[in-house]
Amino acid sequence: MTIVASTLDFRELARRRLPPFLFEYIDGGSYSETTLRRNVADLETIALRQRVLRDIGTLDPSTELFGQRMALPVALAPIGLAGMNARRGEVQAARAAEKAGVPFCLSTVSACPIDEVARGTTRPFWFQLYMIRDRGFMRDLLAQARAAGCSALVFTVDMPVPGSRYRDYRSGLAGASGWRGAARRFGQALRHPRWAWDVGVHGRPHQLGNVAPVLGNSSGLEDFLGWMRNNFDPTVTWRDLDWVRREWDGPLILKGVLDAEDAREAAALGADGLVVSNHGGRQLDGTPSTVRALPAIAAAVGDRLTVLADGGVRTGLDVVRMLALGARGVLLGRAWAYALAAGGEAGVARMLALIEAEMRVAMALTGCTDVAAIGPDVLVRD
């Protein structure tokens, strides 16, 4: 039995519970997964500067982003198919985030559609969108997000084409289409009866909830990767984002920026924020880790828009490291996906509680009583 003492323990529980085609999809990256490993390894090398005999009797890890008060400077990042990790999983994760006082961001390619998540929660959540060839479909999704009261739009800009993820082919999520692919995934599900009963039987429908209206019957798992290849727009440029800015009048956050020049373009466009991200190492392998790219981007545009970051964040210590390097907030990806698979809503709630506890220790031992005090001075300089 695995005892959950840290957020890292959820990964092993998720591996045991999920069929391989789902676990490898969450866990893997593109090509040889060099960038995926860099995200974690480079973040671990950032040394915190321990300070002593400071008055840390009152610690406040809360912050404000995009007009929203948050209990922690973290949000749950958009993850495609996350709703397959537990029964109607995105709703469970959104509830946990709401109770913890942090934002949840719903992916375009989620299992649960926007209206289902809205019915299952009482506070606004964020919505993530890709640039899709069919602008009419994008306009409809944005209208749904507005109707649901979504408080921010996270627009992913680093996916004009999907990355090549070898694990998805080996596991059977990609490559094996039709009855062969379905039979392979069914066989994996039978070897994981708890998941099969909770999600496979009682978690239906198994489809891309937000795109089901346009795909009809072809909106199941076997259509997931094919839909992305066929519908993402590889011709998108900065000019196309003017259309998004016109269609969405709330906070606009561009996700997937790794270069300072691109960050300046985002600021010139009028974006309210950006996420320094390499898509969790799932797109272009061999790029810098986000923690290496973050300082230059924060220096370039941190005074013009809100800089967020993701990639390799597994603990509350990692959150503090990202904040010290210039981020105003941090998006958690795999951390909440593992926790959802391991324990549903309760697992995500436990993960967020652990992140908060670890943050508080790091803040106390670096002499920071609030989030605004976390800056370059808490890092050890070579």
The set of residues, in sequence order, having a beta carbon less than 8 Å from that of 204 and lying 6+ positions away, is none
Q: Give the tokens for residue 209.
A: 């909830």
Residue 213: what pLDDT? Answer: 75
In the structure, what pLDDT confidence band is assigned to residue 7 with cuts at 50, 70 and 90? Answer: confident
Is residue 177 over pLDDT 70?
no
Q: Which of 192, 202, 206, 279 is catalytic?
A: 279
Per-residue model confidence (pLDDT) at position 361: 97
High-pLDDT (> 70) share of the chain, %: 94
For the chain, the average pLDDT equals 92
* 16, pLDDT greater than 90: yes
- Position 75 scores a pLDDT of 98
Query: How far is residue 17 from each of residues 12, 86, 193, 196, 242, measured CA to CA in Å?
Result: 9, 10, 9, 10, 43
This prediction has a pTM of 0.95
Separation CA 33–CA 22 (nearest Å): 17
Does 202 participate in catalysis according to the annotation?
A: no
Burial class (CB in 10 A: 0-12, 13-18, 19+), 36: buried
Q: Sketch the domain layout of the chain as residue ranges.
A: 9-370
Please tell me the predicted confidence (pLDDT) of residue 169.
Answer: 86
Strand order across the beta sheet in which 306-309 lies: 74-76, 329-332, 306-309, 273-276, 252-257, 152-156, 126-129, 105-106
Q: Domain 9-370 adopts which CATH fold? A: TIM Barrel (3.20.20)
CA atoms within 13 A on the CB side of 350: 19
Q: Which helix (H) or strand (E) holds 374?
A: none
